[in-house]
Structure 1
Amino acid sequence: MKSIQRHIFKAHTCLWLALAAATLSACTKKFEQYNTDPNKVTEEQLKGDGQDVGSFFPDMQLSIIRTVDWEYQLQQNLNADLYSGYMMSGDPFVGGKNNNNYALIPSWNSTTFDLAYSHVMSNWLVIKQRAEQSKPDFYAVANIIKVAALHRVTDVYGPLPYTRYGAGGFTAQYDDQATIYKSFFQELDSSVQVLSAFVADHPGTTPFASFDLIYGGDYTKWIKFANSLRLRLAMRVVYADADLAKEQAEAAVSNSYGIIASNDDIPRVNMVNGTTYLNPLADITLDWNDISMNAQMESFMVGYSDPRIGKYFLSSSEGTAGYKGIRSGIDIINGSDYQAFSKLNFTYTDLVTLMVAAEGYFLRAEGKLRGWNMGDGTVQSLYEKGVSTSFAQYSIGSADTYLADNVSKPSAYTDPKNPVNNVAEGSPDLSTITIKWDEGDTFEKKLERIITQKWLALYPDGEEAWAEYRRTGYPKLFPVVVNYSGGTISTAAHIRRLPFPQSETTNNAAAVEQAVANLLGGPDNGGTKLWWDKK
């Protein structure tokens, strides 16, 4: 794994630049008169075109889902992408005992936290200090980016330093997840209000365009993204605080700008000025051969004859169905055994996607199923619109035949290298959910159908898929074959979180100890459920 072999460092460049700029502003008038380099940009010039604030945004946007290959691998690929059932590695890292089979590697499991705080929170703090009063529209966008990034982090670990971040010193006290989520809702609501007022007062202007790698400065799309995040996070807490979930979901959907409903509004992170960019999953799967299709994806997509399979994965000569995935949590002795299994179908120029339009329809379908006011449409029509929107995203054509299929079910799984990893027909580990909507089904069966299709549409975002699996128990995922957690993680219940990062247990030990004792709700291991994980 090249990520571990490379020199890993934490860059706090943005914060140091901010401190340096503050220091320069303190120079005497005479010093400036005789020592200013006429060829260098001054602080006042930076303020004139917004660079004093805007220059901190690109790094934030590129770090919601990190676009550097080895950083992405440790941030998400060697945890959530595995635990979601999307991907699996055929490489026997660390002698075959690693995150794949719950032998959690501390040095792997700090990166999700470290990247968020060194690239998102540090930049956000400078923007807050410089723009909260002078450029409230910029600060509103910074808060949306912060929520987009940090909700992924709290959903990995649980409690985090959040509301008191930047209060002083190099350590910060942790907030419990309920407090963090309430802060998310407040920040998203405030950001929508600020940006809506700006659009009304300054129609057609795009002051943020030069710094926006996602929407090119279009605040109306940022408002839709904020509303969509609000709806996503509202649903996340439904089993922990049903009243709060309903209130926030209805507020998100009823906003006049609405949520992301079109594939044209999908937030994707784009590089600027021809900067070298390689899609991290393309690098990891094609160059390093470190990640492949998961057996779970094979089971659902082959069983359903899902036409998206060729968009998601490359075909394989292994097996008989044209696609072959690796089951999660297996013993891999010889890394070459699984190298010919299906790779992910990404090109180096594919942009990282932060949210798909289909998700909003599935969220609304679930909300409608729960009796909430989710706007126009029935549960069935919203469910079907979610599927058809996902098909359209991949230019597949009509989803009508797929949606009319009330027979196909996820297929059994055969590992051509080791039959101990097989999942046979009739196994209790094999899902039996079909595709076609059935209004006569129970609430739970309807929910399973919605979440299963949502899971298929969310690919490759393993962070969101893993969170939704933990929240709902759907789709039905194969348990690991081998569990090296030493009893801290239940094979049947699957992994629920990652332990607090090594960087924090070393550098912020007192705060971590307090969080474990008072906020987490259980021991600091992979088996402890998060606050919202109440079902």
Structure 2
Amino acid sequence: MKKITSIYKLIPAAALTLAIAGQTACTKNFESFNTNPNELTDSLLKYDYKYVGAFIPGMLTSIYSTVDWQYQLQQNLNADIYSGFMGIPTPFNSGKNNSNYFMMDWNNWVFKVPYDNIMSGWKLVQERGAKTRPDLFAVATIVKVTAMHRVTDVFGPIPYSKFGAGGFSTPYDSQESVYNAFFTELDQAIASLTTFDKTNPGGKAQLKPFDLVYGGEYANWIRLANSLKLRLAMRLAYIKPTLAKQKAEEAVANEYGVFTSNAQNATVHSGNGITVSNSLYVISQEYNDIRMGATMESFLKGYNDPRLPKYFRASALAGGGFKGVRNGIDIKVKTDYETFSPLNIERSTPIRVMSASEMFFLRAEGAIRGWDMKGTAKTLYEEGIRTSFAQFDAGDASAYIANGTAKPATYTDPVNADNNVTAADSYLSTMTIAWNEGDGFEKKLERILTQKWISLFPDGQEAWTEFRRTGYPKLWPVVVNLSGGTVTGFINRLPFPPDEYKNNKDETTKAAALLGGLDNPGTKLWWQRP
């Protein structure tokens, strides 16, 4: 990777060729489009607002990379497994890898994908359209925050405010500064789009050619910004509770509000001549490198959850059924575990960015904290379950919601009994489903976070983040910990990328001081629960 300050110069050819030529794929062809952007005249680019909007599709398809191997390194071999959603059957690096906290160089791609494709694209939209096309700039800013909050929630401090400012290196901002910037940017984008939506009833046509999420519906982009604001506000519940309450209540009270139905969900999907491919399909069905997580098996089987066959496919084990792989175990050969349950995802499955069910669970948590979330915790919690069931076509949720006895199940590993989880293990959750108003705050919080965790599948990034923020739901520790003593219990973050120490060394070294601890996977992030 080049210096961060020069990365954005690599992007225009890819984005502009994509928009003008109407290619059938997006980011997976970026490298083949490495041509001189000056060959395209500004007069041509301004046709149908491509001069500004051409960069938005490439940004959208890089929130989660649609290049299969990139997504595998960007998220699947870290957050997806740390969340408990998934487990790996493959003994990468002779069994010493991220799954058992032996940190690989894979985290270069957690950093590289968003800086190459999100920050760079946003910088060009800013330069070309911040004043002339404030609506497109606002959408690009929402996409930027959607992507970059995931990056800071992996590393902590990141280069942000000084990105693209010139020079030979780029300073990092503290995570607190980055979050403050997020709120400012979202508030500005919400105000800008609200004005545009009310004064330009025909404006949809100007965004639609570049919009792979809402087809140009500005109102839904405002709801996405509010929903993202609520998510980020809740992130600060333990570190900045007053600010968290303020921003959460603003998001819910906004005239457009947050998501309240699945029709408003944000997903990146094919359109406008661009084919969006879901990389989880290839990683699961073709690479055979990811399987159902054992923790997910425990919760879904124990609750007799009808979402189980919606999330996963039956295993190829004798007798079939659903079987998950426990993380951080000693895997000798791939054939031992690749017969376990793959993901039930197709190549064409839209890539989910954010859903209404999450908003109901966030509001339920806000309600038990005493915030004005426009509903009671019980009502919002139960609506979150119903909305998730509807999202996955899992039937009527009434009996599930009323179930006050079902608990997560024990786990048996048919390959190695050392990986079993029994009722005697303290980390096996005993949480039930039915709401009980008489429970204390902590039990209510665990109940909300447990159902929220289930509903977030397959977004392991957000699930891992919420576990780190709250400690819920109860996940299982790794069996084999190869962190060299830097991680006790659960991993908290990824170390800064090796390429950053090579190409942005001085600033990356300074950034370590912003962590308040060492640059290792055991150091907590700023917003984590004490």
- TM-score, length of structure 2 as denominator length: 0.92
Q: Equivalences for 1:137-216 in 2 at 5 Å?
A: 137-206=135-204, 207-216=206-215
User: Cα offset for 1:61?
Assistant: 0.6
Cα distance between partner residues in 1 of 2:473 and 2:418: 23
* Alignment-mate amino acid for residue 246 of structure 1: K
The alignment-based identity, stated in percent, is 52
Judge conservation of contact 2:15–2:55 (CA < 8 Å) in 1.
Answer: no
Q: Which residue of 2 aligns with 1:496?
A: 492
Q: Which residue of 2 aligns with 1:36?
A: none
Q: How has the CA–CA distance of structure 1 residues 186 and 68 changed in structure 2, closer, same or farther, with 3 Å as cutoff?
A: same
**How many residue pairs end up in the alignment?**
502
User: Cα RMSD between the aligned structures?
Assistant: 1.7
1:382 aligns with 2:377: no
Q: Which residue of 2 aligns with 1:434?
A: 432
5+ long unaligned stretches in structure 2: 1-6, 18-38
Cα distance between partner residues in 1 of 2:15 and 2:395: 50
Judge conservation of contact 1:282–1:344 (CA < 8 Å) in 2.
Answer: yes
1:528 aligns with 2:512: no
Q: How has the CA–CA distance of structure 1 residues 275 and 204 changed in structure 2, closer, same or farther, with 3 Å as cutoff?
A: closer
Cα distance between partner residues in 1 of 2:124 and 2:40: 19
Cα distance between partner residues in 1 of 2:162 and 2:133: 22
User: Cα offset for 1:12?
Assistant: 5.5
* Alignment-mate amino acid for residue 393 of structure 1: Q
Structure 1 stretch displaced more, 216-225 or 45-54: 45-54
Cα distance between partner residues in 2 of 1:55 and 1:262: 30
Q: Which residue of 2 aligns with 1:315?
A: 314
Q: How has the CA–CA distance of structure 1 residues 98 and 218 changed in structure 2, closer, same or farther, with 3 Å as cutoff?
A: same
1:237 aligns with 2:236: yes
Judge conservation of contact 2:252–2:258 (CA < 8 Å) in 1.
Answer: yes
Judge conservation of contact 2:269–2:275 (CA < 8 Å) in 1.
Answer: no
* Alignment-mate amino acid for residue 511 of structure 1: E
* Alignment-mate amino acid for residue 14 of structure 1: I
Judge conservation of contact 1:279–1:347 (CA < 8 Å) in 2.
Answer: yes
User: Cα offset for 1:273?
Assistant: 4.4
Q: Which residue of 1 aligns with 2:85?
A: 86
| From 11, 14, 17, the counterpart of 1:14 | 11
User: Cα offset for 1:429?
Assistant: 1.5
1:512 aligns with 2:511: no
Per-residue Cα deviation, 1:336-384 (whole angstroms, up to 9, x for no partner): 1001101100111101110111000000000011000111x21000000
Q: Equivalences for 1:406-417 in 2 at 5 Å?
A: 406-417=404-415
Q: How has the CA–CA distance of structure 1 residues 499 and 73 changed in structure 2, closer, same or farther, with 3 Å as cutoff?
A: same
Q: Which residue of 1 aligns with 2:419?
A: 421
Q: Equivalences for 1:456-471 in 2 at 5 Å?
A: 456-471=454-469
Cα distance between partner residues in 1 of 2:275 and 2:235: 36
5+ long unaligned stretches in structure 1: 1-9, 21-39
User: Cα offset for 1:42?
Assistant: 3.5
Cα distance between partner residues in 2 of 1:196 and 1:260: 16
| From 476, 479, 482, the counterpart of 2:480 | 482
Cα distance between partner residues in 2 of 1:232 and 1:170: 34
Q: Secondary structure, in 3 states, of the residue corresponding to 1:353?
A: strand
Q: How has the CA–CA distance of structure 1 residues 335 and 48 changed in structure 2, closer, same or farther, with 3 Å as cutoff?
A: closer
Q: Which has the larger radius of gyration?
A: 1
Judge conservation of contact 2:265–2:355 (CA < 8 Å) in 1.
Answer: yes
Judge conservation of contact 2:403–2:433 (CA < 8 Å) in 1.
Answer: yes
Q: Equivalences for 1:89-100 in 2 at 5 Å?
A: 89-100=88-99
Q: Secondary structure, in 3 states, of the residue corresponding to 2:189?
A: helix
| From 392, 395, 400, the counterpart of 1:394 | 392
Per-residue Cα deviation, 1:34-84 (whole angstroms, up to 9, x for no partner): xxxxxx964123224211111111100101111111111000000000100
Judge conservation of contact 2:495–2:520 (CA < 8 Å) in 1.
Answer: yes
Q: Which residue of 1 aligns with 2:116?
A: 118
User: Cα offset for 1:335?
Assistant: 1.3
Cα distance between partner residues in 2 of 1:278 and 1:49: 26
Q: How has the CA–CA distance of structure 1 residues 510 and 19 changed in structure 2, closer, same or farther, with 3 Å as cutoff?
A: farther
1:257 aligns with 2:249: no
User: Cα offset for 1:236?
Assistant: 0.5
* Alignment-mate amino acid for residue 530 of structure 1: L
Per-residue Cα deviation, 1:86-113 (whole angstroms, up to 9, x for no partner): 00110000000000100110x2011011
Structure 1 stretch displaced more, 63-72 or 494-503: 63-72
Per-residue Cα deviation, 1:405-429 (whole angstroms, up to 9, x for no partner): 1110000001010000000113101
Judge conservation of contact 1:67–1:352 (CA < 8 Å) in 2.
Answer: no
Q: How has the CA–CA distance of structure 1 residues 85 and 234 changed in structure 2, closer, same or farther, with 3 Å as cutoff?
A: same
* Alignment-mate amino acid for residue 529 of structure 1: K
Q: How has the CA–CA distance of structure 1 residues 57 and 388 changed in structure 2, closer, same or farther, with 3 Å as cutoff?
A: same
